[in-house]
Structure 1
Amino acid sequence: MKIIKLPAILPGDLDLAIVNQQLRSRTAQLDWSAVISAPEQYLAVLLAGLDLDDDAEVLDCETSTLSDTIAQKVAQVLLSSGQPHIESKPTVNAIAPALWQQPKSIPQQDNVAVPSVFEVEHNNEPILQPPSYYQIRAELEQAVLADLLGPAGGEYEEIDEARVSDRYLVGLIAPLHRRQRLEQSDDDALQTEELTTDQTGSVDLSIEQLDELAVNGVGTSDDGTTEPTNPTAETMFPSSMGMSFCVSGTATAMRITAGWGQYKRIESEYLKNAAGKAKQIWRRHPIVGQSPAISLTAGKIAPWRIDPEHEVYVRGQIRACGDDWIVSLFLVNEQREPQRSRDQAWLFQPELSVESATNQKDIFIRRVQVRSPGKCDPGQYAEEQLMEMLYRRHVEFAIGHGIGVHAEVAAGRTDRAVRLCTRVVPAYEVPKTDAPTFDEAGTELVLDMKELANSTAAELLAKLNPLVRAYADWIAIQKNRVAQLHEYADTANDALANCARAKARIQSGLDLLQADAKALAAFQFMNQAMWQQRVHSLYAEQKRRGEDVEISIIDVAQNRSWRPFQVAFILLNLPSITDLAHPDRCHETAAIADLLWFPTGGGKTEAYLGLTAYTIGLRRLQGAIAGRSGESGVAVLMRYTLRLLTLQQFQRATALICACEAIRREHPTKWGNEPFRISLWVGQKTTPNRTEQSEEFLKQKLGQYQSTSSGSPHQVWTYW
């Protein structure tokens, strides 16, 4: 028996009458797995004269192969022709984790005890299976998308709200010819005034625009720009969305699929008002269409009307780009907004996708980006080429216009795609980045802060030199790969040259510890301070949780060890911090500002806190330089742009300063009599910037203005 796989959108290229004859003669069987849209008029032709009970084998209407929507439509068609009803499967989120599954029913037998559901074993696996973090996150993501984009209640949902645009906040395409809403009252009682629009979606308002609300306060360089207290009234909505992409010159035709959710104001089948009559609600109707094959020839694409009942078109243009094609497609809502129930002319949950119309499926290639080196800064161009090399397997196939685009890559390839589709809420999976393990950096590498704090210069060389050797070995391996990069060979060689320079700087840091006693002492001071702050921070955290723990249990190597990249970052910066005349620090063109780029939680803070401890310890050992004391002044400035991040990082930095101060108090003759201090400045909106402002602030806000017997105010120190 021949199996006929139905197209995604009926009828496709099939002659449904002929297929119906084959089904009735028992020479063919249907495969519904790919169907996403099946209009009832086509189903009526396909299923004419068929009976579910007698023709179940050829219909293959098992609920496991039918989507819920298609099953309902098939049931309606069969019921309308007097056929039995097909039970549709319940709506199930495909990615929802199965927390618990009811076991199959167990037949009751006389005098035999039936175990409870928690005693039943299924394939020797426990019934209760906790979901993974990925499953929970995926379910949460779907819940957020359903709430913001919809449809939260299924493809034929009912919405009991005044407007659908109040229910869903993203994925709205307005009609090209809109009416301006002057009052936010009931939908049917809105006062309106016509707007004129053009095909690009720009609008010419025929009413006076509302003035923006006055801004409280004035932005300053200290506080940043001041934001308005209220957003401005929104007067423009997009009437189209689309994408541009590149198609291989070997392709001959493509096919477009477009659709959206159409909401109509009708009477509910379920909800009743206070009088017991059917309530007026918004009912969703999914609309999906598939275009005929579109030939890839230069010029404008003939406008394609997706559905005969709605003035919604897909427009586009094809341009030649060498031997390939650049295609731009737009889904345009050219409807006119009615005076009442206006959301009927809006498009919700819009989708636009494109794929090949021939047997050659992987027709989409890298999007062309032509940029001349002479049109940008040489350093910027070199950086862009480096990014191109590093991310050569992450190809950008398309660019969205007012929307994101997702590409389905070909099997086993990264430079070809088989399908492009729009995404109202684009998403990208960012892989977790882990620092190299100890084994990768060499088994002889020592990263224990306590052990490094108590090591001599010769011992440090033996314990840290494996890091340099491991980096050198990695560079040698990468050099062997340059020949495989072809067009990126020059960029790869430049990158390896920078790697070699970084290795040399790390080696210079190690050599400095051998030659400079003060640098060695500051390095030991840094490791001791970092060790103490790390251990005591963990101890304090567990104490706040109410745990009964001893600090000796926490003070173990795994809780006080560096990560390899942190030690490397610290070593390559030691020479320029130690020597005020070092070229990395003061050369006019060759000076370096090192950027530590690592994902959140990877250990950036620990790295620069280590350099902070080294710097303030070295200043105390070097004493006065050029008439300036090493015990006074500001050694390190840290700035953060987010308030919560500022507080968190300030706490971590304070723990380090406390550790440094504890070390200083044990050896004041070595580390000086002046205490280590830390302060926080968060701008004049929160704390005063000047002494006179501080005095006035205390007098007016805190009521702490007091006079001494002599009539002069007390001196007040305020710490923030």
Structure 2
Amino acid sequence: MDYALARKDLVAWLRKQLLGPAASSDELLRGTTPIERYASGVLFPVIEGGEGIDPASLSDDDTTGNEEADAMLSEQAEPASRPRRYTPPSSVGVTFYIHGEDIRFQILYAAASYTRTGERDEQGRFKGREYQRAELGGDANAIEVTSPRLALPQTYRQRFDLFAERSGGNPRAGLEVLWRPYEAGWITTVSLFNKQIWDTGGEQHLRNQWRNERSLFQVALSCLIEQGAVGDYPRVDKSLLSDEEQELEVQYGHKRIYAVGHGAAADWQLENDQVKLIWCDFLPSVEVPRVTVDGVPGFDDVLRLSSWSRFTRDEANDMVLLGQLEHFVKTYGAWIADRRVEANSRSPDELPPANRIVGRMESAYSRMLCGLALLQRDDLARKAFQTANRAMLMQMMQADSNREKVPAADSYRWRPFQLAFLLTVLESAINEHDAFRDLVDLVWFPTGGGKTEAYLGLIAFLIVWRRLRFSTSGGGTTVLMRYTLRLLTAQQYLRATRLICALELIRREDAALGSEPISIGIWVGAASTPNTFAKAFEAVKRARAGHQDALKGLVLDACPWCGTPFSADRSFAASERRFDFFCRNDTCEFGGGQADHLPCNLVDEALYQTPPTLLLGTIDKFARLTWDERTSAFFGLHGNRPPELIIQDELHLIAGALGSVAGLYEAALDTVLIQRGVYPKYVAATATIRMAADQVRRLYGRELAVFPPPGLSSDDSFFSRTVASSQQPGRLYLGHLAPLLSRSHCLAPLAATLQVAPEAVFTAEHASREALLDAWWTQIVYHGSLRGVGNSHNAFNIDVRNHAERLIKEICNQRLQRECTTIEQETLVERRHVRIAQLTSLATAEENARTFARLEIARTEGGECVDVALATNMIAVGLDVARLALMIVNGQPLTTAE
């Protein structure tokens, strides 16, 4: 099945519906106006003096505050924004830099108008709303222009009249070419503008009619280069940029910008590396290529988890494996050496940032060599590394076994960057005097690339090493893992628990790892989990009385090791003084008797009594450290050491007020750990790194080291490489702007079109129709605030429904002209009624869990399938649902990281 081709068909249909014409070149609109039907790609008539309020400044957008925040402001404070006067766009243009002795290009343009038609009443008013489309100008809409002589004044304008009216000969539009000398060529702006005036006098129905008739629709503007060369569009002087911005210029220098748009996006076509065509695009698209993380061939043995799980058992094999690991590391070093040569060949203004980029790669390489040397010389480190790999392998095999897959030990591998990351941080993770102990090591990889497995491997290594190194004080809480979202914390708890189970099974057979169980705990608010034994006991009692929903707050609904579902009667030991999970599967390593309770807990009182080896919590929960003295249990009890490692996932989400408060607690936490005798190591993970160094300094007062360090090109960091879209399609982004509509109203035509699109495009003749329908059936609508979610919910119930009804009616009318199947008609009618769900912080953990489960349900599996999911940045960390392929980002996100 070719999803890329299907997506192309879908986008082509969207373009016709949003820009027009949806039907034929001489379409007749009935029951609507062209401005209502096509909100994009329109040049409106000129309004002298401006008119109306800018819809982007209205209070229904996501960037405005909520009532609680507003109440915190002084009564005398100025509002954050005021409604702005607004003039709808009447022009569109494109600017580019072109040079050469003889410059010549053709300007190609097109537009359409709609004229009201139909029967009139006795007063001469039209009875219905019907508009007839007409192409303007005919087929030969082209003007050839040449550059002026340099001897002319500094700027030079060329103007042309377009689309003369039949009566009177007045032009409807104009074209302007503005030439400005720059270096050896010209910065050239080509603009198309509507010259018609909107007469705001007269009756309302006439004003509306004139506005529709005097607007230009389906506007197109392009420049075909015949002579001359289009160069890179002038950028800001690099000396004025920050160090980070200069480095980004180097890394993205191959992503060249040849033009900028005005009122629309600019795009271009290359032929033989030369720009041949430049055009304005009202529905721009960009395909972000996929990233491969398996681009280091020839190291299968060294990447196999099974190879390292057998480490330390045979000295000869160990030397071979360490030799292969050294070759792996030095291959990276050789690649860096080539980048050093490349950096030295850069231009003088690019040389300093290029040297900084390569310098960070060389530092990472040096640290990898230190990690390699540690494994070569230190018996405890080798044993800990072997055990960590064994635990990772065990939990991966167990996960596949639970999914009824046949696990093959040799098929599980580290991704190259994961193994390299472990080598990089090994020394600083166990040596408090290491020069890099003070660094915050940031794992930077796209969502889904394997960041979690990378730091889970580090956690396993450190837990084992600490138990081996400090036989009498290595227990207690070893690692703190923090998240900003409770939903994410619960998801990571499920992933980490299986690893902890594997480590606990290994501990039971290895006396060197101590008698204290290796365990995990989740530490979050009472809205997500029961924080006391009494509340947990009450939840179990309610479940035993038949209220199964009462168990949702217990996070786990099955044994994390074997996957056997929990039952209220047999899987919990709950009382006013105790709570534990049990597996009643006799074949499970944790099944059987009461003594074999699972090594996990989520009740605060249980965590204080028996501090878990790995503690997961939300960042706000750590505020309890200053309010509840029982939390000191996490910092070393009964002679145990305090935590050695602090992991912060999704670092970019700690922003704004949350970041300010978090920074205060970080300073306090750091001080407490140091006073308890441990200088902690910090590791963070994120999918975006813009301004990360500044953020880390403000949060932790430390410097940052990114891994894998970016290369000289954004397409290649050795451990990850982009894949050409021709080989593997990437994510496709479309931009949609309806300038006359506010944000909530702008959503309506887009969401309605996407709602109807799958059924309209993938008709009965498609061989894989059901799969294609399901792929684009569910819309995820992303918002920057809860207010935006509420506005969108109302829009889907009113505006979106009305737009969808009209589209469905149009499609049904078109299908009456051809034979269509009953299935097609039934599916189309099904889209009249949408099932809306929400993923927000206002929902309980149980409600969000049910919504996640519903998102997995295909459209053919019954009435629980979600048609629209309205979400906030709760899903900014990624939503792992395989069937989803469509998301609307409703307005600019509050941060670029989102």
Listed as ranges, the matches of 1:159-170 within 5 Å are 159-170=29-40
CA distance in 2, matches of 1:596, 1:659: 27
Correspondence list, 1:517-556, <5 A: 517-540=379-402, 542-543=403-404, 549=405, 553-556=406-409
User: Given the alignment of the two structures, is residue 348 of structure 1 paired with residue 211 of structure 2, yes or no?
Assistant: no
- Aligned-partner SS, 1:307: strand
The answer to whether the 8 Å contact 1:525/1:617 transfers is: yes
Question: Which of the residues 449, 457, 464 maps onto 2:305?
Answer: 449
In structure 1, the residue matched to 2:683 is none
Unaligned 5+ runs, structure 1: 1-130, 178-194, 198-202, 221-231, 269-276, 544-548, 705-712
Where does 1:294-373 land on structure 2 (aligned, <5 Å)? Answer: 294-296=146-148, 298-309=154-165, 311-337=172-198, 339-341=207-209, 342-356=211-225, 359-360=226-227, 363-373=229-239
Residue in structure 2 matched with residue 287 of structure 1 by the alignment = 136
Amino acid at match of 2:407: I
Give the aligned residue type for 1:167.
Answer: R
Q: Give the match for residue 98 of structure 2.
A: 247
Mapped contact 1:441–1:470 kept (Cα < 8 A): no
Q: CA deviation at 1:493?
A: 4.6
Pairing of 1:252-267 with structure 2 (within 5 A): 252-267=103-118
Displacement after TM superposition at 1:665 (Å): 4.1
Note closer, same or farther for the CA distance 1:328–1:233 as it changes in structure 2 (3 Å cut).
Answer: closer
Partner of 1:466: 327
Shift of 1:366: 0.4
C-alpha spacing 1:583/1:172, structure 2 compared with 1 (3 Å): farther
Q: Are the counterparts in 2 of residues 291 and 306 from structure 1 also a CA contact under 8 Å?
A: no
Equivalent residue, structure 1, for 2:481: 637
1:150-171 deviations in whole A, cap 9, x for unaligned? 3332333333342334333433
1:196 and 2:196 matched: no
- Give the aligned partner of residue 386 of structure 1: 250
Alignment match, 1:578:
430
The reply to whether residue 563 of structure 1 matches residue 415 of structure 2 is yes
Using a 3 Å threshold, how does the CA distance of structure 1 residues 496 and 216 change in structure 2: closer, same or farther? closer
Deviations 1:121-140 (A, max 9, x none): xxxxxxxxxx5333222222
Equivalent position to 2:506, from 649, 663, 681: 663
State the AA in 1 paired with 2:416.
Answer: P
State the distance in 1 between where 2:504 and 2:20 align. Answer: 57
User: In the TM superposition, what is the alpha-carbon distance from 1:421 to its structure 2 partner?
Assistant: 0.6
Q: Does 1:156 align with 2:4?
A: no
Question: Which residue type is aligned with residue 505 of structure 1?
Answer: R
**Structure with more contact order per residue of length (Cα contacts < 8 Å, sep ≥ 6):** 2
Q: SS of the counterpart of 2:520?
A: coil
- CA distance, structure 2, for counterparts of residue 690 and residue 582 of structure 1: 39
**Equivalent residue for 2:8, pick from 138, 145, 149:** 138
Letter in 1 for 2:111: W
**Separation of aligned partners in 2, 1:265 and 1:672:** 86
Distance 1:369 1:216, change over 3 A: closer
Q: Give the unaligned 5+ runs of structure 2.
A: 71-82, 120-125, 166-170, 199-205, 313-317, 540-546, 552-574, 580-601, 604-844, 846-898
Deviations 1:62-87 (A, max 9, x none): xxxxxxxxxxxxxxxxxxxxxxxxxx
In structure 2, what is the equivalent of residue 238 of structure 1?
A: 89
Amino acid at match of 1:383: E
Higher alpha-carbon Rg? 1
Structure 1 contact 254–296 (Cα < 8 Å) conserved: no
Structure 1 equivalent of residue 564 of structure 2: none
Q: Does 1:614 align with 2:614?
A: no
Provide the rounded CA distance (Å) in 1 between the counterparts of 2:443 and 2:29.
Answer: 51
CA distance in 2, matches of 1:234, 1:450: 67
Q: What is residue 801 of structure 2 aligned with on the other side?
A: none
Aligned partners of 1:716 and 1:156: how far apart in 2? 76
CA RMSD of aligned residues (A): 4.3
Equivalent residues of 1:254, 1:295 under 8 A apart: no
Structure 1 residue 370 displacement after superposition: 3.2
The CA distance in 2 between the partners of 1:646 and 1:136, in whole Å, is 36
The percentage of counterpart residues that share the same residue type is 26
Label 1:482 to 1:345 Cα distance change in 2 as closer, same or farther (>3 A): same
2:267 maps to a residue whose letter is: H
Residue in structure 2 matching 1:605, options 442, 452, 464: 452
* Alpha-carbon contact 1:365-1:397 (below 8 Å) kept: yes
Question: In the alignment, is the contact (CA less than 8 A) between 1:399 and 1:405 conserved in 2?
Answer: yes
Q: Secondary structure at the match of 2:269?
A: strand
Deviations 1:89-114 (A, max 9, x none): xxxxxxxxxxxxxxxxxxxxxxxxxx
TM-score scaled to structure 2, two decimals?
A: 0.49
Quick one: which of 492, 507, 511 aligns to 2:373?
511
Which residue pairs with 1:653 in the alignment?
Answer: 496
Equivalents in 1 of 2:87, 2:470: separation in Å? 64
**SS of equivalent residue, structure 1 residue 302:** strand
Look up the equivalent residue of 2:133 and give its one-letter code.
R
Superposed CA offset, 1:336-386 (max 9, x none):
345133333333333221233xx42x521101113242x343x32542343
Does the residue aligned with 2:417 lie in a helix, a strand or coil?
helix
Change in Cα spacing, 1:483 to 1:715, as seen in structure 2 (3 Å) is closer
Q: Report the residue type matching 2:160 in the other structure.
A: W
CA distance in 1 between partners of 2:534 and 2:102 (Å): 72
- Tell me the amino acid that sits aligned with residue 27 of structure 2: E
Aligned length: 505
Q: Deviations over 1:480-535 (max 9, x none)?
A: 55576555556545443333322211111111122333322332232122212222
SS of the residue 2:106 aligns to: strand
SS in 1 for 2:500: helix
In structure 1, C-alpha distance between the alignment counterparts of 2:232 and 2:58, rounded to whole Å? 45
How many Å apart are 1:650 and its aligned residue? 4.6
Alpha-carbon distance in structure 1 between the residues aligned to 2:173 and 2:458: 61
- Which of 249, 260, 269 is the aligned partner of 1:408? 269
